Amino acid sequence: MGQNETAHAPTDDASGETEEFDPIGTLTLIAIYFVILVLSWVYIYYIEFLGRDLVVVG
Amino acid sequence: MHIHNYEKIWLAASVLLILLLLGSVTYGAVGPGVAMVSDSEQAIDAGGLDDDDRFSEPRVEQVGENEYEAYVVAYQFGFQPDPIVVPENSTVTFYVTSRDVIHGFEVAGTNANTMVVPGEVSKITVETDDRQEYGLICNEYCGAGHHVMEGKVNVVSQAEFDDRNDGGNGE
Ligand SMILES: [Cu+2]
């Protein structure tokens, strides 16, 4: 949480080269969402949809 | 322009996700051959179904080796023929039309599902597996009796199917 404290003192590192802002929590959250999305899609499409009887083929 | 590393990661992940979704749909079309309800059928006169070759007498007909066509009429409130009897392990094409209002044709618990529009013929082809009785329901509100509108699709053995068609109805 402390990593973005520098935002309060923008003049200090306005050069921007040294990036201190690492929202690891957001990254983790997005990674979890991503995994949920992929797993749901695989389940919905490959197991639920393609696994049912009488797949429409024409 | 500087892009944060994390941003690159989730940009890449979203592109990957899109490719996965497109890839699965492509796989579905190419592998198992999943198709849409055909829009190639000619429009017909909903009031003149009694003079129509296919729908004056709703039935299941053999059209090729192991290929069958089912001509189905939906009406307020039911389906003809009832039950729709087709043989196991065969390819069945349903041609479904309505003689009154919009209905649905949904073989419960399966992917065979289409709207039924008066004046239009919905065509879906499916492959049947083993013997089984499926429920058939209307999934478009079609009037006071909508909730009792149901039918059956019975997948029977080849022998039973032949029996029914030779012995019984005599056309
Ligand atoms: Cu109906």
ipTM of the complex: 0.77
In terms of DSSP bridges, do strands B84-87 and B150-156 run parallel, antiparallel, or are they unpaired?
parallel
Measure the CA–CA gap between B147 and B137, rounded to whole angstroms: 9
**DSSP code per residue over B80-104:** ESSSEEEETT-EEEEEEEESSS-EE
Q: Per DSSP, what are the bridge partners of residue B98?
A: B74
Domain coordinates of chain A in residue numbers? 22-58
By C-alpha distance, the chain A residue nearest B8 is: A27
Give residue B84 CA to ligand 1 midpoint distance, Å: 16
Q: B147 phi and psi, to 5 degrees? A: -70, -15
User: Looking at beta carbons, which residues of chain B come within 8 Å of A45?
Assistant: 24, 28
Residue of A nearest to B128 (CA): A54
Q: Is A21 on the interface with B (CB under 8 A)?
A: yes
Dump pLDDT digits (tens) for B116-165: 999 999 999 999 999 999 999 999 999 999 999 999 999 999 999 988 87
The overall average pLDDT reported for chain B is: 91
Contact in structure between A37 and A53 (CB atoms under 8 Å): no
| Alpha-carbon torsion (A31, B23, B129, B135), positive or negative | positive
* Cα–Cα separations (whole angstroms), residue B137 to B72, B74, B79, B105, B126: 13, 10, 9, 6, 17
pLDDT given at position A17: 53
Question: Residue B35 is nearest to which of A21, A52, A58, comparing CB atoms?
Answer: A58
Q: For residue B3, what are the CA distances in angstroms to A27, B31, B62, B137?
A: 15, 39, 63, 54
Per-residue pLDDT for A18 more than 80? no
Can you give the pLDDT at residue A36? 94
